[in-house]
Structure 1
């Protein structure tokens, strides 16, 4: 992991970000002699959250960090020994473990659909099975936030969006949410840790407490303008909005940067504030709105004179869908223990709709004559020539070495292009089916 200036950040080991049974499976496989059998796992989701038209892949860069830092330290091994989680031969294996396999998948920011092979992990069963929980925890959280962010960005129609949900989630999840929101189309964050780690622009000025601290609203505005300049954003709904707007322009002058509205009927108040600002000569002063916004509230403000939005709770909780229900399933294994043994498709066939499709898969997005996406094609075996140039997977880790790391801005730009390449109905907020059907080719 790197911070914004390119210097490495110390990252703690991710080895215990896992479930107990991953290690007990490892122990049993080591004893049975099958732990080193070549295996292929895939991450996918059987369905999108209800009403969603597409998913967004986010967290790929954090997955690379997690794999690079998957190391069992001496204190961790001591803990596993004290708790008798696994036996000594397994602890010896863990002590020297380093992932040496291959990982590929959809590049970060790409959209996905039911059945899309979002990530493929290939190596020995032992090294692949250990990564299940940490990979799913990253992708399920980050992709859920990015999908919510994408819907909000579509509703905002080009107006800037600020992520400000740090106080509504776990402190570490808040940083991951800021990153995912940026991939999904947000422009800035209030979270300084996210700015430090990932180079995301940070913004912020003052809360109601700052106004309440002072003897009068005028004193509070004067103090803020004196410190931050006339381009600052003044919060105008602590007491009376009309009086606050008058004071704000009087203190800062017509060059006041912005006013922020955090309560009330935002549509009505925004129109009144815009009219008042114009009458006071502050025609270039922007209006920022906050207050429990989601994609529906943002869409309802499309006709309002609003210049930007700040979103917190609904964004960092996935706007009602805090997970994507991604799963990590073994889809192929070697038919024997020899290094060159051919892969054999395997699949879960349990009841209740929790089936999986065996075989190592490729994915491509078929487009029509106008270049608009019309289907997600997922298959096994040879890729049809007409789809060869439209494949979606990229190499991320090769023989244990990261080869697919990229700047966060690249993922953000990719998502914008991917969303623009979908049918117009992808931007609809009404409930509906995935905007692209998933077609299967050559699956057993």
Structure 2
């Protein structure tokens, strides 16, 4: 009997939340649906203990907006479940976003209040995008923010993203992309490699070792197939014996060993001494096993050549969402603002510039009303928002994934030194509202 798909495919349009369609239907009924509006995405605060955030997922948002259509299947679903009335169904059937989007480029740093994304259009066509936009930006930015901290802690040593088994299957692909954007060198996720051109790497698991009657047989099978430059997993049984066997099988040209358990710092130290004594001075040491940015920082003085990180990166290392919100800030050119306690917003469309010292160190982020004159740019300052979509179409020459990696690398260098600390503290760059 053949397997059949039963609802496993995501419908992009139905990522709209029920309450968004409730607002849409009511606005269509009372004639306010076509009012020109501005929505902004921002974070009121950074996750606890973080000093900066990293924007990621913008390119995925642009693609998702372009694909956002209600096909006959979606319309039938909404009709059969009586989610909306006939007038709203008719409007959705013809939906195609025709507005404008501006925002921070992927790889840009953000801080509390930064206008990360600005969506301009009618109330109707902009309001239905809220859940879609936030689900992408909140996830990808959380992953990238955590991954950037890990990359900084690794201090130039490569990190392999290997968290696909620790998150949802769709989220795993997006997480691999966000981690690569934030400085990870490779991913074990083959779909991320196919879709985004990310370099892929992988070693064997303990199951492969246990499959064979001896550790030596497992090593020999791997080396015979992949060559001596492969990475051998040496901690299935006894690490010291495993390293000795690995070098005997592969020779001193062995590419790397991987340690996946135990107190990896002292183990890496002893492994380095043993490898050197066996003549395998160029054999690299890769460590993995529940690593996060704090564990990586603690290993900086150890002879570790690369890290494998899974669970902590795909879950945002304790901050699985970036806490971004999508708020209406302007109607018919008039600023509007929410005043609820602890959930206040600032009315009006905004722009932002980042001021820097002549040395390149970031001083402050200035958020200003976009309808008025912009603050004067100093020689070391720059505007943060860029055009992303015009009249419903992506603008030409949008930044690539490699562009985002370079932008983030420059952004992290621009932070005051205390901004890279892993300890609690204020945001690395203060936000000033004009």
| Residue aligning to 2:367 | 378
Which residue among 43, 67, 70 is the counterpart of 1:69? 67
Which residue among 110, 113, 117 is the counterpart of 2:111? 113
CA–CA distance in structure 2, aligned partners of residues 27 and 269 of structure 1: 62
| Residue aligning to 1:345 | 335
1:13–1:70 Cα contact (<8 Å) kept: no
CA–CA distance in structure 2, aligned partners of residues 284 and 234 of structure 1: 14
Question: Aligned-pair distance for 1:12?
Answer: 6.2
Which residue among 10, 13, 16 is the counterpart of 2:14? 16
CA–CA distance in structure 1, aligned partners of residues 182 and 429 of structure 2: 19
1:13–1:69 Cα contact (<8 Å) kept: no
| Residue aligning to 1:144 | 142
Measured against aligned partners, the alpha-carbon deviations of 1:4-27 in whole angstroms (never above 9, x if no partner) come to xxxxxxx96511112101111111
CA–CA distance in structure 2, aligned partners of residues 103 and 308 of structure 1: 39
1:364–1:387 Cα contact (<8 Å) kept: no
Which portions of structure 1, spanning 4 or more consecutive aligned residues, are displaced by more than 6 angstroms? none
Question: Aligned-pair distance for 1:390?
Answer: 1.0
| Residue aligning to 1:403 | 395
Question: Aligned-pair distance for 1:413?
Answer: 1.2
After the TM superposition, which residues 45-60 of structure 1 pair with which residues of structure 2 at under 5 Å, given as runs?
Answer: 45-60=43-58
Which residue among 154, 178, 181 is the counterpart of 1:180? 178
Report the count of equivalent residues.
422
Q: Tell me, which stretches of 5 or more residues in structure 2 are unaligned? A: 1-8
Question: Aligned-pair distance for 1:371?
Answer: 1.9
CA–CA distance in structure 1, aligned partners of residues 142 and 376 of structure 2: 33
Aligned: 1:311 with 2:301? no
1:52–1:434 Cα contact (<8 Å) kept: yes
CA–CA distance in structure 2, aligned partners of residues 294 and 24 of structure 1: 42
Of 103-112 and 370-379, more deviation after overlay is shown by: 370-379
2:105–2:399 Cα contact (<8 Å) kept: no
1:363–1:376 Cα contact (<8 Å) kept: yes
Of 87-96 and 385-394, more deviation after overlay is shown by: 385-394
Of 237-246 and 418-427, more deviation after overlay is shown by: 418-427
1:13–1:71 Cα contact (<8 Å) kept: no
After the TM superposition, which residues 147-162 of structure 1 pair with which residues of structure 2 at under 5 Å, given as runs?
Answer: 147-162=145-160
Measured against aligned partners, the alpha-carbon deviations of 1:118-160 in whole angstroms (never above 9, x if no partner) come to 0000010000001000100000010000000000000000000
Aligned: 1:415 with 2:408? yes
Q: Tell me, which stretches of 5 or more residues in structure 1 are unaligned? A: 1-10, 335-342
CA–CA distance in structure 1, aligned partners of residues 213 and 18 of structure 2: 57
| Residue aligning to 2:163 | 165
In the superposition, the TM-score normalised over structure 1's length comes to 0.94
CA–CA distance in structure 1, aligned partners of residues 157 and 185 of structure 2: 9
Question: Aligned-pair distance for 1:65?
Answer: 1.3
Measured against aligned partners, the alpha-carbon deviations of 1:71-124 in whole angstroms (never above 9, x if no partner) come to 001011011111111111111111011000000100000000000000000010
After the TM superposition, which residues 5-404 of structure 1 pair with which residues of structure 2 at under 5 Å, given as runs?
Answer: 13-334=11-332, 343-351=333-341, 353-380=342-369, 381-386=372-377, 390-403=382-395
| Residue aligning to 2:427 | 434
* TM-align CA RMSD: 1.1
In the superposition, the TM-score normalised over structure 2's length comes to 0.96
